[in-house]
Structure 1
Amino acid sequence: MKKSIFVLLATAFVTLVSTNAQTDYVKEIEKWRSDEESDLKKDNGWLTVAGLFWLKDGINTVGAGPKFDVRLTDNFKQEKFGEINFHNGSATLKVESGVEAQSDGKNISTIDLVSDEKGKPTQIQTGSHTFYLIKREERFGIRLKDNNSEARRTFKGLQWFPIDESYKVMARFDAFTEPKEVKIPNILGGNFKMKSPGILKFTLKGKEYSLQALDEGENKLFIIFRDASNLTETYSAGRFLYADMPVNGQVVLDFNQAVNPPCAFTPFATCPLPPPQNDLPIEIKVGAKRYGH
């Protein structure tokens, strides 16, 4: 009798501990989801991206309306903002007389634009607009953001699959002797050169899979993957997943934290796409659903 009572109490204790652990995990993922949405909605977040304009050699006009090379949104109430003189990768902005513009909190009239290729780009603010110079492969362009963009104003929230802790797996990290430079396809039709430190190998639902990891230099592994759910319920161009750096050759992959890339929210992003080897032949029905699905 005493033995039976002990077994029942032990079972109840184990069940309670397991339930509490599951509840803590769900709360952790729910908070992470809330933070993801807040980051998306913030000033100058991805919902504010309102344009991408590739620069031609010579003078590029900037203003509101179809006649300008770099077109601000209708929230810019003056017609012409200024001109960008671009030549051999160098860009200089000259602001139209009477137009207010700032960079790093200081009023400007003329300024050289440093691109994101060299770290933090020179950011130009006027009203609700911010724009800066980007480089993608051999092209230079202006990325425009508007904090009053329609996408931000009409955002209805992210949609997620139910949380399933069985999609949190331990992966073995097979490191390369030296990080490899790899070509990753992008949505522009070209390729980005990125660094891959190794391959992640893991078991999910009883089968073995592998994913190539990338290193973006932020002490995180970056994984771009596609799976069978992309045909129906998740973003067709794949999803992103981040993971902590390996510890003793092991990496935790939590597909509940799979997110949509920026190009799911704006046609003006320049997203990398999953390399062919990261195309998983199964449905990963956790993490972010297709936006607006």
Structure 2
Amino acid sequence: MITMSTTEEALRDFAQWQEQRAATVSAPYGPLSLTGTHWLADHPDGALPGLPGHWAEDGDELVLTAARDDGLTLDGGPFAGTVRLTPDPGPVTAARLGLGERRLVVLRREGLWAVRDFDPDAPARRAFAGIDVTGHDPRFVAEGRFTPYEQDRTVRVGNADGVERGLGLGGELAFTLAGREQTLQVSVEDDGSLWAVFADGTSGVSSYRFRFLRPAAPDEQGRTTVDFNRSLLPPCAFVDHFICPFPPPGNTLTAEIAAGERNLSARRDV
């Protein structure tokens, strides 16, 4: 039985979650500040759009050569010469390379190198007017049970940039919603929490074309809470430079998930 105090606590937690989420996406180096993802394979001459220096891949390293007047920084200090780089593992603010207030993040996906350009003065960040979020509805909260696969699987799925890539999956999350049993194929994060890419009956109609869900790490019996009130817009909903994966086969739910983050609010003129 849900008591009034339980309901009030859920509403408070949900309001705090909304506030924190808006602050995260609109932070100086949040997803709204990404102005470009430049794949080296698309620029064999070593010149990346809008970035100084010469960029080249060399096996497991990315080699950058730049002059002092290019204005690049490395580990917080002026950089000139040649440096061999590996992918940046941490947050954007910890990226080794900078250009003024911008942060340049080195990444590698399936053997391909890219550099992401994050700019706090990005037009998308200045135009951000919020996220359309549906109010908390207990009908979209369910107890889930996670069953890991005997071996991790990788499936090929389309991505928002039109390229097909591998998506790692660690198991299946089962739950009951509106009296119907549902399942999602999920990935397992380093901290044990789960990550699902899903679509539903509202996708592309009253919600973005697909969304993310991040349930907490299951307990020893595989139990975790499936709360679609905390459905997330993927990064590519904020700017086009992210390469979000589409839902894997089986992750399009028959139910209409009229909950959580649905779309971006109308943007301000900048």
TM-score (norm 1): 0.81
Moved more, 221-230 or 170-179: 170-179
Structure 1 position 186, deviation (Å): 2.2
| Greater helix content | 1
Partner of 1:154: 127
**Equivalent position SS for 2:264:** coil
Shift of 1:41: 1.2
Deviations 1:242-280 (A, max 9, x none): 011211221210000000000001110011111121000
Question: Contact conserved, 2:196 with 2:214, CA < 8 A, in 1?
Answer: yes
- Counterparts of residues 268-279 of structure 1 (less than 5 Å): 268-279=241-252
- The residue aligned with 1:44 is 29
Deviation at 1:179, TM superposition (A): 3.1
- Most deviating of 83-92 and 208-217: 83-92
Task: Quote how far apart the aligned CAs of 1:91 are.
Answer: 2.2
Partner of 2:78: 107
Distance 1:192 1:70 in 2: 27
- Between the aligned partners of 2:180 and 2:44, the Cα distance in structure 1 is 56
Match of residue 53, structure 1, among 26, 35, 38: 38
Higher relative contact order (CA 8 A, sep 6+): 2
The letter for the 1-side match of 2:179 is G
Q: Is it true that 1:70 corresponds to 2:42 in the alignment?
A: no
Name which of 227, 231, 240 aligns with 2:200: 227
> Structure 2 counterpart of 1:138, which letter?
G
Q: Secondary structure at the match of 1:36?
A: helix
* Alignment correspondent of 1:203: 176
Residue 187 of structure 2 is matched in structure 1 by 214
Q: Distance in 2 between matches of 1:184 and 1:190?
A: 5
State how 1:51-200 maps to structure 2 within 5 Å.
51-56=36-41, 59-61=45-47, 69-72=48-51, 81-88=52-59, 90-110=61-81, 111-116=83-88, 119-120=89-90, 123-188=96-161, 189-194=163-168, 196-200=169-173
Check if 1:260 corresponds to 2:233: yes
Cα deviation for residue 183 of structure 1 reads 3.5
Q: Cα distance 1:58–1:186, how it changes in 2: closer, same or farther (>3 A)?
A: closer
Q: Where does structure 1 lack aligned partners over 5 or more consecutive residues? A: 1-13, 62-68, 73-80
Residues 41-98 of structure 1 show CA distances to partners (whole Å, capped at 9, x for unaligned) of 112110000011111475422xxxxxxx3225xxxxxxxx322233445322222332
Gaps of 5+ in 2: none
Letter in 1 for 2:55: I
The DSSP-based 3-state class of the residue aligned with 1:27 is: helix
- Which amino acid is 1:92 matched to? V
* 1:244 and 2:216 matched: yes
Report the Cα distance in structure 1 between the residues aligned to 2:204 and 2:54, rounded to whole angstroms. Answer: 43
* Aligned equivalents of 1:186, 1:216: Cα separation in 2: 19
Alpha-carbon distance in 2 for matches of 1:201, 1:219: 17
Instruction: Determine helix, strand or coil for the equivalent of 2:106.
Output: strand
Identity of aligned residues (%): 25
Give the letter aligned to residue 214 of structure 2. Answer: Y
Following the alignment from structure 2 to structure 1, what is the Cα–Cα distance between the partners of residues 167 and 251?
16
TM-score (normalizing by structure 2): 0.88
Classify 1:221/1:174 alpha carbon distance in 2 versus 1 (closer, same or farther; 3 Å).
Answer: same
In structure 2, give the amino acid aligned to 1:224.
V
